Chain A
Amino acid sequence: MVSASPRGAGRNVDVVVIGGGVLGTAVASRLSCTTASVCLLEAETDVCEGASKGNAGTAVSYYGPPGTPETDLINRSCPGWEALCERLDVPYRRIGAVMVALDEAEAGRLESTADELREAGVRGQLLGPAAVRGLEPLVTGRCVAGLSMPDEGVIDPMALTVAYANLAVTNGAVLRLGAWVTAVHHDDDVTSRVDFTGGSVRCRFIVNAAGVAAGAVSSMAGGEEMRYWPRKGQYAVLDRVFAQQLSRIVFCTHSATTKGINVVPTTHGSALLGPTAADLDDPDDKATDEETVAALIDSAARLVPAISPDFVMKTFAANRPASDEQHRLRFDRQMPRLLHCTNRSAGVSISPAAAEEALALLRQSGLDAQERPDAVAALPRMARLRTEPEPQRLIETDPLYGQVVCACEHVSAAEINRALEMPVPATSVDGVRKRTGATYGRCQGALCTAGISFMTALHTGTGPASVRQTSRGTVGSR
């Protein structure tokens, strides 16, 4: 689970990052490009297993309200998505969004949102109903007004998180998976020892990017008492037969209390409806229920009437880290070497600037982190058969591009092998899915899961019973 020659491979590093979600991996990848040594600890057996996995797939231009550090980080991140995603080989399309008002009350709130956008320096334009439907013809005829937000984009959040982790490991960061942090001891005012299942590591700084577990990590590290709880969001994924007609993100009008249900074209050609919001106690509760899913589809169909339950390929739930402080990117007030790095919901959208900010804060506190001229800045491009207009040229790079494993999403054996061999490799069927999009389609893996299981088993030295299906569970139970 480590690169060939990690820097700081001993038991001492400059920075330990706790949490392999989008923020933890972004910070680790940024630090890995400097002379500082970094160790990334992730409790699960793969990166991107928490909120970042169940993400709405948007890189937003505005989340609100204006004038907050979160809005500032979104503003700083937003212009750079094309360049970053090109560099990290992450699917991204700046397709723009339209926020839809269905009655006069919503139209009034839309005007307030337009004012907020102006104040935040984000592009947006109020539109009449005809113009809304000109932008996105699938929007309901009941629409009374709209707000165009041209800088919104769709992104593959799992590919982004994996790419950050791949870049970090390529640049010598140490990644420890299955590493639950169990204790943090402070040797003195300069160094700490972080104990985790399977080892321990000494460091000067700790970055707490543990998402919903960030409160527990802070307590262990002698930091502030911080309360985090899971906010469950349920989603439905719709078939491309519907999604190929959808050209833009469709948002419902924000209310004072919720951002509501969105309709999002994904970078894989499907569409995502969600998220709902329900506060929980149990971070492992990721169950869907029939009533919520039905209400979710109804809400989405109010915006886009062409949506019907017949298009649903999959439903799932994920928990985002709600907290009394919606955004924390600051040093702990009691433990000055503990840097908190968590966000309620917009982790993907702030991640590039948050990583820069984390580095700046660590430097201000004395971390010697100079840019390394030999740091790798870009990941090798992995061509995707599905989106390649002239696939014949792929054969020259790998003949296995012609061997289609996932029939629905047209994912080839070449892509799956790459996922199983990358710096942070897939070690489960689910890990292959996150890295390639295999099994995303309408058969949900009925045609390809056996093949992916066998390929994964070959690469992980397991067999049909013991190969991992998910991060936590195997195909067989024995």
Chain B
Amino acid sequence: MTGQVGRLWSRWVRFLDRREPGTTLALWRIAVGSCLFGTVAAVALAGVVPALWLGPADGGYTEPQANWLFRLLGGATRANVWVVVGVTLAAALLTTVGLGGRWPLLLALQGFIALFRLNPAATGAHDAVITNSLWLLFLSRSTVTLSLDCRLRTGRWTCDVPVPAWPRYLAVFQLVLIYFTSGVQKLSATWTPVGGYSALYYILQQPTWQRGDMSRAAWVYPLTQLGTAISWLWEVASPLLLLAYWYRATPERPGRLRRLFNRFNFRRGFVLIGLAVHLGILAFLEVGPFSWIMVSLYICLYHPDEWRAASGGRASGGREAAGGTTDERRSCERRSCERRP
């Protein structure tokens, strides 16, 4: 490869070669593992495993659709479904505590896919967010720190050994992809001035999703209109978050827009609106673990140094840099908390 394409490719390769402490990925793993546990446990506790995931002979309303895993196990029988529920819950726990490296993540992913695909009519967007998160975490080295693995290997709960940062970048990209494609598909006039920005008010009145009587929203209708306008703009403008990261990483370059973005903390505004949206969904609508799993992706918006600074710990000495050379890291490496190839 030569010329411009070659230079772009080299930059792409170097970008994916970046390493950073594993704190962010570990926090994300803990959040996703907890969310998966709650998601599957809620189905079991509500007593709907037979109704939705088993066949009519075992208390279900329809024939389950067995994927490759259930076909391998001999079908979506009562025993097999409950075994997969149990294994998925166990794998979710192992994921949360970070025991067994990346393999519990793969187990959790395959178990969960097999379960929710049993009944495609009873799925939601949250299922796909969970599986995408588990896949990216499986590809990452999320158990290097803040895990039982770390504790067993080093005698400590934390470890500064740098891990590849690209899974975190892909998580940020996934977050933006979800919001942006969701925003551009909001084609109803009710999301626009033509429909009086009434979407949020009417969504709150949907009997299937509401937690309780939402007729009181009629008395704060202007607020729901404001919420409609802000949340739609926030979704369709979400790719600007990637631009904000780029500007932040290249502050020395010229440009008025770059200066504007760097002066105004776009990410903070994005996160605050997002938290308000998801808090609202959580408070007024019952859409399963959607808000929890989406907010868990927000963890990836922050560099490990920012999380450690927030918790009063030390930074690694380089925001996007490859590792650093702190005494702590050397100590961690001596204790073989990271296997070298």
Q: Say whether A associates with B.
A: no
Which A residues fall within an 8 A CB radius of B?
A: none
Which residues of B does A touch, CB under 8 Å? none
